[in-house]
Structure 1
Amino acid sequence: MSSQWWEIAAGVLAGLVAVYAILLLALWAYARRHPETVGMRDALRLLPDVLRVLRRLAADKSVARGVRIKLFLLLGYLAFPIDLVPDFLPLIGYADDVIIMALVLRSVIRSAGPDALRRHWPGTPAGLAVVERLAGLPAPRPGNPERNPGAG
């Protein structure tokens, strides 16, 4: 009987390790497929502004409830000390946070619209441009005041 218990425990553990490896592989594949999106250094430098805009969007009652739930879940994930990739690992430790944040931002902006992001953005226009790239929005056209909150 105790032999069966160990076999079951070993099988569950092997399954969890396999799922973890698949998730890491998926994150790595996503990062390789979208290398032009945003550099890790830019993403980390903008983290305070990104967290503020996420919080503001989550509190905005004009944003759909499903979008706000995604944002609260993302903020919880970012605040939770246990990640897919431990943060103490150099460089790759924060990669999962940045990739998951980018995926959620893309989903949120598809639902709420880029105007909601621009309306709540607390940082500089250059920072907004980086976050828009991170969210998968097209590059701004020169002289388009709609994409440049500092203009007009």
Structure 2
Amino acid sequence: MLGHLRALARRLKAELLALSLAARDPRTPWPARLLALLVLAYALSPIDLIPDFIPVLGQLDDLLLVPAGLWLALRLIPPQVMADARAQAAAQPGRLGRSLWGLALMLGLYVLAAWLLWRWWGQRA
């Protein structure tokens, strides 16, 4: 079972690397490119939407949001572009690093949520 999970994690990492290559390909349509960049920013961000220290929910966002976003992005990218990106990723397996854009995106979402909550709380008082 543990070996199966490790294999799935390696496959997910390889797909994320291929997605990063496909997002930079000029043949990729801009909506797919935007979604791919958002998925990559979230997946590589050091901050999660739901922090991992919250039991169960902290891990569920990683187990559901990243694969769902990856699935959708892969459906929007032309098959030939993804095939080329997968071949390039397999030929040069790189390491996906942390994303400063992902960090900025998540911090921005937290600030937006705090602002909306502050406004909502102020209207109730």
- Which TM-score applies when normalising by structure 2? 0.52
1:76 aligns with 2:22: no
Distance in 1, matches of 2:59 and 2:14, equals 17
Q: Quote the offset at 1:93 in angstroms.
A: 4.8
The within-5 A match list for 1:1-152 is 40-87=5-52, 93-121=58-86, 122-123=89-90
Deviations 1:39-90 (A, max 9, x none): 6433322343223112101101100011111111111112222213434579
Q: Quote the offset at 1:95 in angstroms.
A: 4.3
Distance in 2, matches of 1:101 and 1:57, equals 17
Distance in 1, matches of 2:8 and 2:54, equals 17
**Secondary structure in structure 2 of the residue aligned to 1:86:** coil
Please tell me the root mean square deviation across aligned C-alpha atoms, in Å. Answer: 3.0
Name which structure has the greater RCO, CA cutoff 8 Å, separation 6+.
2
Q: Which has the higher helix share?
A: 2
Change (3 A) 1:89 1:103: same
CA contact under 8 A between 1:40 and 1:95: conserved in structure 2? no
Deviations 1:115-135 (A, max 9, x none): 3222211239xxxxxxxxxxx
- Which TM-score applies when normalising by structure 1? 0.44
Q: Report sequence identity in percent.
A: 29
Structure 2, unmatched stretches of 5+, are 92-125
